[in-house]
Chain A
């Protein structure tokens, strides 16, 4: 009986999920994220920069999904294994202790969205020639063993630093036409 009551309560609550009030407000946290996800590149044409980005995405195993060169957009994705040692150990422990089967991560789709935009001067918003901001965001959609999924935006500073280090090299290679 209690289980039925809980199930009803869950059903009713699930119907009432509302949009978080600050979902469309830029917060300080998001401004900090912008710093992490963005780098400026000077002395390069927009197409060359986009080519360098697409080469780097291919270097790192992504396949291109979508692009709009006129607006500086590239979207790429890859599917990878998502099994995680710690999670498996935890699932086994729970199974031994309680007898319950916990679903664990099985595979994941990693997406990278890259946007190149012309740099603007701070004061008047005038476009600076041959100078661009590159902003990248990584997301992943993880599928568990029971086929349920969960989604997250990756925000590890190291990941973004590594990406831009590699992009600097790719930009250099692009400039040398290698």
Chain B
């Protein structure tokens, strides 16, 4: 009888623990309830210039202004990665620049804070506002 009384709470605890954990597969390809399109819309901006190098140098100097240390950059691929230490945590951000047609550049950013993806559109909005100032260009929403 005693065992039965204990069994129910024990089952509940096991269920609570198991359901609280995402499986590895879910973590590898997670997008936290947002669709790919939603993510792209706030992580992407379009600039009216055909000069990839200038946009990339602007991205690098914007990241530096935001106290990021730029770790990797590749002009051919159009990728820049940097990390920033804030309040003992690490923000890691990568930005890609690619041509759209012959007169525009698409800039896309994504970042994580500690072990969490940054999914707050305001953070990206702030980043692109800083980038606009650095490039002397106005960003357009697109994609």
Contacts and interface: CB of A to CB of B under 8 A. Distances in A.
B110 interface: no
Contacts of A135: 61, 64
Nearest to A111: B69
Interface string B79-111: 010011111111100000000000000000000
Interface of A: 17-26, 30-31, 33-34, 37, 66, 68, 70-73, 75, 111, 113, 115, 117-118, 125, 135, 137, 139, 150-153
A64 B113 CA distance: 27
With most chain B CB atoms within 10 A of its CB, the pick from A68, A75, A151 is A68
B53 A20 contact: no
Interface of B: 53, 56-57, 60-61, 64-67, 69-75, 80, 83-91, 113-114, 116, 118, 120, 122-124, 126-127, 130, 136
Contacts of A139: 69, 83, 85
Given A23-B126, A71-B73, A115-B64, 19 more contacts: A19-B91, A19-B118, A19-B123, A23-B91, A30-B65, A30-B66, A31-B65, A66-B71, A68-B73, A71-B60, A73-B60, A117-B61, A118-B57, A135-B64, A139-B69, A139-B83, A151-B90, A152-B85, A153-B84
A5 to B, nearest CB: 17
22 contacts: A17-B114, A19-B120, A23-B91, A23-B126, A24-B124, A30-B65, A31-B65, A33-B67, A66-B72, A70-B53, A70-B75, A71-B73, A71-B80, A75-B70, A75-B71, A115-B70, A135-B64, A137-B69, A139-B83, A151-B85, A151-B88, A152-B85
B49 to A, nearest CB: 12
Nearest to A151: B85
Given A115-B61, A115-B70, A150-B88, A71 B56 contact: yes
